[in-house]
Every structure is written in C-alpha cells, then in structure tokens.
Structure 1
Amino acid sequence: DGCGKLLDAMLLKNPRCKVCGTTPAPKEATNLYLDLKKLQGKLDEWVDESSEKGKWSKNSISTTKGWIKKGLEGRCITRDLKWGTPVPLEGYTDKVFYVWFDAPIGYLS
C-alpha cells in the first residue's frame, strides 16, 4: 500500500479482501476508458512546465514521471455502483462515472 503501485488483484498470491477476507473473483464488465496514451506527450510537457514553476512536490514529480516513462495505459472511468453520476450513453445505463474522473468537474463548476 505504501508504494502507490497499481496492482491487478488477480495476479496477487492468495489475494484476500481486507474488509471481509473473501477471495476476489473475476467478472466480465464493459467499461469506458480514458485513452491516456493519446495524451502522453502533452501530459509530459505539462508536468515539466508545472514542476519547473514549483507547483508539484518532489514525490509527485517522481511518481508522475515514472508513470510517463513506463508508458501510460488506459484508465477506467466507469464503475458498477448504485450511486454516482450516471453515464448518459446507450448500453451503459447500469454504470456511473468513477469519482476521480467526475469530481474535478464539480470543482470547476
């Protein structure tokens, strides 16, 4: 937990839920993704400019640069939850936007 690395629970040895102790089970799901590869060049430039202005902590810069160097992957922006902002697209009526994706919209508005 301390390193901040994203891990696939199905690749862990003997994975268990910290709350209830059960083993995670894979399930099929269709989700929407933010294609970060398309944004990688501009994000890299923006991170450089922002960090030069002193707007980021050293840890944030290091972590972000590590992700960019490794190559950004698509990030899922939807979840199968009963609460949240509904996805207004046909075929996704049972989905909501993941909070990290829709929260900044509220900050700006």
Structure 2
Amino acid sequence: MTIQTARLRDPAVRAFVTAVNSHDREAFGALLAPGATMADDGSDRDLDEWADREIFSSHGHLDVDNESNGGRSLLAHYRNDAWGEMRTRWDFTVGDDGRIARFETGQA
C-alpha cells in the first residue's frame, strides 16, 4: 500500500518526494544543503548529473511503500522513462538546517 506523500513524517524527505514527483528542479535544489552528496547502488555520483538524468529528463516518480528511521529511510517503487519501474530504497541524511546533506538510493 502506498503512503500518501503528504503523510510522510520527515519534512525534508516529504519535500524531496514532492519535488521529484512534480519535476520541480528549483524546489529540489532548494532542499539540498550546500555540497550535498548522493550515491546510487553504493557508488557516489555527481548529484546534479544524476538528478538530471534519473529524475528530470526522464520523468522520475516515487511511490513510497514504507518509511522507517523517523521517515528518513524509504522503500519505494521508482519509475522513469529510462529504466521503467523498480523497487528502490532511499536513505536520507538531513542537517540541522532541515536540508538534505546526503541521500543514498539503490535497488531494494
């Protein structure tokens, strides 16, 4: 059963999912801390390149199935035009300023 985005517990993660699903590049950038980093399937990636390829130019969309770790870990179905749909995990590190300092994703 999918969790409605508005019901996600962590405000930064909720904003992240909202920005991804609405393809709002400006909102996505605003919720990342300066120097934010990310990894995909265990390998660090260039966040801007990855987001452009995997989210914005390929119409990425997250449907969250489960959250844990206070809402900072998600299991979700992720789909985009490049790869189709897959079950994924997402782990977020949120700084004291409420912005995302790092996220890690990969197949679940």
Which structure has the highest helix share of the two?
1
TM-score, normalising length from structure 1? 0.33
TM-score, normalising length from structure 2? 0.33
Give the greater-gyration-radius structure (CA).
1
